[in-house]
Structure 1
Amino acid sequence: MIPAENPESPLCSAKACRAPAVWVLAWNNPKLHTPERRKTWLACDEHREHLSSFLNMRGFLKDVVLLTDWESAGGESAGGGSAADG
């Protein structure tokens, strides 16, 4: 795992990963959230596929976007929590 260079940088949501986030995984649990609601997990390059697969298998994954694109588009706060938080 790559340590974060800037402690203020968003970090990957994968359990125990301290790498800087590169991706935003926007998701929604239709049993709990309204259709337009988007929760977010952050992912480094190494964990993007694993976290995406986890959400997609449950039918929760809505979009995978580069963090820089998400921020420039005015996406919701990409803090997202950790993948362990579900």
Structure 2
Amino acid sequence: MIDLLRPDPVAEGELLCSAKGCRESAAWGLLWNNPRLHTPARRKVWLACDAHRDHLEGFLSSRGFWKQTVPTDELDRFDPDARP
């Protein structure tokens, strides 16, 4: 059975924080969904280092987009070079 709430996979390799200008390694995956653009089961992913986790969660939460935060080792990965 397909897990409909599985977040989008992230690229193999080093995961970097999604905060503007940050080049730190990400420790967290912030799962979110914009209900005007995505189906209810879709989970997009922003990556966050420890220093930016609260800020990015707050940004998503204030718009009603934030759903859950998970450690990056729980995120599915893909090889970007293997995509057609």
TM-score normalised over the length of structure 1? 0.72
Q: How does 1:63-78 map to 2 (within 5 A)?
A: 63-68=68-73, 70-71=74-75, 75=76
Partner of 2:45: 40
The one-character-per-residue Cα deviations of 1:18-67 (angstroms, maximum 9, x if unpaired) are 00000000000001100000111000000000000000000000100111
Instruction: Structure 2 unaligned segments of length 5 or more: list them.
Output: 1-12, 79-84
Shift of 1:76: 6.5
CA RMSD of aligned residues (A): 1.3
- How many residue pairs end up in the alignment? 66
Q: How does 1:2-81 map to 2 (within 5 A)?
A: 8-68=13-73, 70-71=74-75, 75=76
- The list of structure 1 runs, each at least 4 consecutive aligned residues, that deviate by more than 2 angstroms after superposition, is none
Structure number with larger C-alpha Rg = 2
Return the structure number with greater relative CO, CA threshold 8 A, min gap 6. Answer: 2
Determine what percentage of the aligned residue pairs are the same residue.
56
TM-score normalised over the length of structure 2? 0.74
Instruction: Structure 1 unaligned segments of length 5 or more: list them.
Output: 1-7, 78-86
